[in-house]
């Protein structure tokens, strides 16, 4: 017996966007919709899967950016600069390589000086 054709509803599409935005695994989304295969989920809901992830990342990035710009959240500012601007942690003390004094070698001829 053939399986019934999937005809996504608007409600299912909204659900997939929402679950995808929250980071729910595609296997779990398929199970929630009663779809046996992740491949089938991707075939019928590809746009919604992509959009949910993109929307979530965009919203979080906007919030982080606002927090970093406000000056009230120094950790957010540092996180943004490390991830987006390539900043790195360095220790407070970085010793400079000092040039050694000249090394003088004298030949001892066995005669003692007074």
For residue range 59-101, list pLDDT tens digits in order: 999 999 999 999 999 999 999 889 988 888 877 676 777 777 7
The reply to whether 100 falls in a domain is no
Higher pLDDT pick, 24 / 92: 24
- Place 113 in a pLDDT band, splitting at 50, 70 and 90: low
For 58, the domain range is 10-84
What is the pLDDT at residue 62? Answer: 95
The reply to whether 90 falls in a domain is no
What is the pLDDT at residue 97? Answer: 78
pTM above 0.75, yes or no: no
The reply to whether 92 falls in a domain is no
How far is 72 from 57, CA to CA, in rounded Å?
Answer: 22
The reply to whether 2 falls in a domain is no
- Place 54 in a pLDDT band, splitting at 50, 70 and 90: very high
Buried b (16+ CB within 10 A) or exposed e, 38-55: beebeebbeebbebbeee
The reply to whether 33 falls in a domain is yes
The reply to whether 91 falls in a domain is no
Count structural domains, the chain. Answer: 1
Mean pLDDT of the residues in the chain: 89
The reply to whether 56 falls in a domain is yes
């Amino acid at each position: 017996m053939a399986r019934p054709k999937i005809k996504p509803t608007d409600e299912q599409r909204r659900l997939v966007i929402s679950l995808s935005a929250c980071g729910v695994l595609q296997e779990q989304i398929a199970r929630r919709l009663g779809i046996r295969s992740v491949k089938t989920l991707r075939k019928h809901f590809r746009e919604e899967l992509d959009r949910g992830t993109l929307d979530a990342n965009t919203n979080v990035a906007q919030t982080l950016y606002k927090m970093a710009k406000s000056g009230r959240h120094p950790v957010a500012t540092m996180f943004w600069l490390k991830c987006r601007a390539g900043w790195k942690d360095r220790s407070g003390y970085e010793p400079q390589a000092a040039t050694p004094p000249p090394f003088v070698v004298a030949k001892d001829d066995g005669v003692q000086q007074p």
